[in-house]
Amino acid sequence: MAADLQIVNLTKEFESFDQPGNKVVAVDDVSLDVEKGELVTLLGPSGCGKTTLLRMIAGFEDPTSGDIYLSGQRVNDQAPNQRNAAMVFQSYALFPHLNVLENVVFGLRLQRLPSSEVTARGERVLELVGLDGLGERSTSQLSGGQQQRVALARAIVMEPSILLFDEPLSNLDAKLREQMRIEIRQLQQRVGITSVYVTHDQAEAMSMSDRIVVMDHGRIMQVGAPLDIYARPRNRFVADFIGKVNFLTAQVSGPKQARLLDQQLIVDDLDERPLGQEVILTIRPEAVNLRTSGGHLPGQITRATFLGGLVEYEIQVDSLGEALVVHDANPVVRGLHQVGETVELELPAKALHALVEG
């Protein structure tokens, strides 16, 4: 069976705003398949082309080249109102002149369904998003989180073949954002609706997605499951964008072995490479073990920041250019190290990862 959404060699060029005549490539030769029931996140910094890609799927932007298939059918030439793709907008885009229920059933009304069915379906979806009984309210009387749910209800009531999210949580405060992540994900899995979700928040992407598509400068950098992307980033950009990371420049010194300064490190996922070749290793701050003796590298603590559940240390290793960032968990029990203290760093073989691209 074909994927629910297929994107084939999609490119979008805009005319440059400040230099007319020049082209800006917003989306550069992107191909992607999204399977039925899957939630795929497009993740990247602002300007990476993720929103443009989403808007092309919805039909609001016209691709310069390439094809889009929804449920196996090419939709390039369909106007936005003909596509069976429902969108949840960043600003919610609720109709201010309609009440909650009227907003939710706006699309159903257009299909000229019997009005009893329209109301019944509208109310069922309001219940699904936890807004039962609020149908008569004006949208301006709702809190930000409730408005978000109305936007969501308005999209899923259409029973679209694909649901598109354009940074839907970016207008909510941090606590509500975390709660809505869980709710949206649960609802999406319960309804089993294929979804594409745009965000620049890596925590949001990791907590919600089946797969993450990391984008930069209009190109796909890496596609994979959240853990895969976090643990095994392809390149510097992906490693750096998904959370904090330390880069170490080492030389290949044997099978699954690399030399860093005078230390032999075991790197479990190092593929076969010529001896002596330079290799960039990554390790996440929480994977580095702090010890008083017997580690791979000695260092001196130059900064200690207490963050509650963990302490972030900046540790200077002699003859290594940059300082390393290390997270030490559970400081209440384990205590704090002081600035100026000397420590040993242990780099576990399982946590080290060799970048495929420099």
Q: Which residues bind other proteins (CB under 8 A)?
A: 15, 21, 58-60, 62, 77-82, 85-87, 89-91, 93-97, 106-107, 110-111, 154, 158
Using the Cα atoms of residue 235, residue 240, residue 245 and residue 249 in order, give the sign of their dihedral. positive
Shortest distance (Å) from residue 148 CB to other proteins: 14
Cβ distance to other proteins smaller for residue 70 or 283? 70
- Write down the least CB distance from residue 15 to other proteins, Å: 8
**At its nearest, how many Å lie between other proteins and the CB of residue 22?**
10
**Half-sphere exposure at residue 209, Cβ-oriented, CA atoms within 13 angstroms:** 28
In one-letter notation, the amino acid at residue 184 is I
Q: Nearest distance from residue 38's CB to other proteins, in Å?
A: 21
Determine the distance from the C-alpha atom of residue 346 to the mean position of all C-alpha atoms in its chain, rounded to a whole number.
Answer: 30
Which token pair is 98? 């309609």
* Of residues 77 and 262, the one with the C-beta less far from other proteins: 77
The smaller minimum CB distance to other proteins, of residues 154 and 284, is found at 154
Smallest separation, CB 33 to other proteins (Å):
23
User: CB-wise, 94 or 126, nearer to other proteins?
Assistant: 94
C-beta of residue 6 within 8 angstroms of C-beta of residue 57 = no
Q: How far is the CB of 86 from other proteins (least distance, A)?
A: 6
String of DSSP letters for 309-328: SEEEEEEEPTT-SSPEEEEE
Closest to 68 (Cα-Cα) out of 42, 26, 34, 36: 34
Compute the residue count for the chain.
Answer: 358
Sheet holding 65-70, edge to edge: 23-34, 5-15, 65-70, 73-74
* Residue 158 vs 213, nearer CB to other proteins: 158
- Helices assigned H by DSSP within 67-114: 100-104, 106-110
Q: Return the number of the residue (75 or 351) whose C-beta is nearest other proteins.
A: 75
Kindly state the tokens that stand for 172.
């909510």
